[in-house]
Every structure is written in structure tokens, then in C-alpha cells.
Structure 1
Amino acid sequence: MLANNSTPVRKIKVKVWDLPTRVFHWTMIVLLGALWWTAENGEMGWHQVFAYSLMVLIVFRLVWGFIGSDTSRFSHFVKPPGYVMAYVKQPKHISIGHNPIGGYMVVTMIAVLLFQLVSGLFATDDIFTEGPLYSFVSSDVSSTLTSLHKSNFNILLGLVVLHVLAVIVHGLKGDKLVGAMITGYKSVTHEVKGEVKFRSNVIALILVCVLAGVTANFLILPLTAML
């Protein structure tokens, strides 16, 4: 590949994603698949187990978005609308981390997932399964939230499709997003301004263990005892 002045374009390999963010990404995909399968096949007990596991991941990601590595922080990729529009009109290069459009997609996905999880806490299938907070609301409210829980999943599927399409488009343009999310490294053709600082994986592990311990004690273990 040659630049306009016929000189070879020098690619540099840059570490972009830390291990906790990569583990979060792929584990979330597996759990979403498991949640879809269990809902389709009536395995509602396991559906709840996987939902609580996903809740641990989402809460971790929210916290990591403020205290984690540079590229994992919301402040790194959530930009003002004007900045995003300027990027849409003239994307200058492959971004380090999420580009401005991808940043909004991440926030939207997390928001939709949060609503899915919260609404599920109040939902019921009117047969055997009830969310842990079902008894705190009226039957009408629970019915409404159950309906929204089901329809919101279609929105989530739509976002997943958009995300996959975006990954394919970026891949065709030379931005190998899948590889970067596996290895943590991305090859870019521009000099990186500033150093990307990474948070200790130990901090992430402690955070996940605390969240998983609390969730398992109050939600998952009592449920699995009945499966």
C-alpha cells in the first residue's frame, strides 16, 4: 500500500483493549445466545441464571467504564454530537478503541441491556417463573414490564445485527475489529498521540469476584437449588 507520495505506509501495532474488556465482550455474546436459547425452549430457570450472570457483567462494565483502562472508559469514546457529526462527514483514520459512532452504539447497547435486565426482575411467565421483584409491583405493572421485556429483546437483536454489519464494513476497510478484540492489538497506519494507559487486571478480577459473589449468594444459588 502506497501513500500519495509513493512512499510505503508504515503500519504500527498498538495495544488497544485490555483483557477484562475483551473477556466481557465475548462472554456477553455467549450469554446473550444462552438467554435466547433458554427463552425459546422454555428453560426459564436457566434463563434467570444466565440473566443474573449477564447482570454481573453489565455492572462490571459500567464501573470499568469509569475506573478502567483508557480505551475502556466512557470519557474516551463518548463524544459530543458535534464531534460525531464531524467524524461522519470526514472519518480521518482508524480509531484507537471505539470510534465516535461506535461509542454511541456501546452506550445504546448497555442501556437496552440494562432495561432488559431490570424489566426481567419484575416479569412473570404466568406459569412457574417470576422475577425476584415480582411481588413488589401490581399484576398490571408486572404484565406491562413482561410485555416490554419481550419486545425489548427484538430491539436488542436489531442492535446486534447493526453491530455485526458495522464490524463487516470496518473489516472491508481494513479495520480488523474482531482480531483486535481477540488479541487486544490493532494495526494502524497513523501515529498514536499519547500513551494508552491500562488498568491492572487484578483490580478487574477483584471487582468481578465481589459482584459475582453478591449475585450468586442472593440470586443464583437460591435459584439453582430449585433446578
Structure 2
Amino acid sequence: MRFLKLLICLLIACQGFAQSDSIYSKRATRYRPGIFWFFTGMRPGKTGKYDRLVIDVTYNQLQKTGGVSQNPARSFGCNLNLMWDTPLTKAKTVSFGIGLAYKYQKTGPKGLFFADGSNSYTHYYADSSYMDYRKNTFGNHILAIPIEFRFRTHGWQHFKVHIGGSVGYRLQTFQKMWPEKKHAIKDKSLPDVNRLVYGVHMRIGIRNWALFADYTLAPQFKSNKSDKISALAFGVSLSLF
């Protein structure tokens, strides 16, 4: 009986190995199950497509006519970009990228944003010394569609330049304050938040790493009476595959 069980196991194993010599071996496969079927690790696959999952880690600054108070080191953010890379040349040195991105922008301005008395527009007050708080943050959650033209040299160890922009929707704008010895207070009620977001960005680097810069052209607030605020971000990008 044991011999029979062993024989059956060997036959199944041989059948599994023999399958590689069948018509299935002619198909492009890496024997990866599920979501990792197309995953190629840190190196691109044989398709020659690059930078399909890109993570940007950024330092953010708020820009305003006349200047906004200094942003401390905690003014960081990140972008998660899922991209489709379409080569435009036979050598694959030029390609077009389009995808979906989530952006988390966070800054720590010295001042605070306040709605006016009629709750119709927003002002930034740089001198908020009368407010009893030890720190504050201001930020956005954004969903965007990035579009890029990508230029690179030959080979995996290539030099690359990405030039593009994005358009998206501001999911949420928030302001957070930490009073002395109290829990954080989060404010999401600024009246005239501009939901439409658009801007330009650029990456320049080697292989999986690049320097990154992004400038949001769309103002933070819609009203003509509001302070004209926009965001500048710069940092590093890592392309996972």
C-alpha cells in the first residue's frame, strides 16, 4: 500500500515537470501566482517597461505672495504612483506614462488659517502667538492622474528624466493643532477649499532612484478674497518595478 501511494506521488510529480515541455512552456510565464504574476522585482521585466510603481518621499512648502512663515522639518509628505509605461520608440528610450496617484501633502506653518466672519473665504495669519498651541500642521489628501513623458538611456543601469504634470481631486484639506497638554484638534471646515488640483513635476535620476520636484499650480482656496496659497514639494523617488 505504501508503495502504491509512493508511485502515485511520483507520477503526479513527473506530470508536473512534464508540463513544462508541453504547449504551456511556450507561453511567457515566470510561474508567479496571483497578483505577483507580473511582478519583476527590482529589475524591469523582459517587456522593457520601467517605473510602474513609484513612491515619492517629499519635503513640502507652502507658497504665498509675500511669503508664508517657515515650514519645519515635519513638513513631509509622500506620493504613491501606479503607472502604465508605454514605449514610444523601438529602443524604448522614450515612453509615455499615465496612471493613478495618491498624494499626501503635509506642512507645519508657524501660523494658522482662519475663515472670515461670513465663512466665505480664508486668511492665513502668520502671527498666531495669541493661540495656545505647541505645534500645528496643515495638509491635503489628493487623488490625481499623472501624465509623463519619460526619457532614458539604454539598459537597466540607465539615466532617466521624467517631465509631466497631474490633474486631480482634493479629497480633504485639514488643519491640526496641539494645545499645551491636550489632545490634537483637527479642523476640516475651511470654507472655500479648491477641490480641483493640477500641477507640474519632474524626476531626474539613475536606475530606481531619482530626485523629485512638484509644483501645484492650482490655488489652495477658490475665493478671490482668500490668500493665494500653493504647494511646492521636493524629495526623492523610488521605483519598485
TM-score scaled by length of structure 1: 0.19
**Which of the two has greater strand per residue?**
2
TM-score scaled by length of structure 2: 0.19
Q: Which fold has the larger relative contact order, with Cα–Cα distance below 8 Å and residues 6 or more apart in sequence?
A: 1
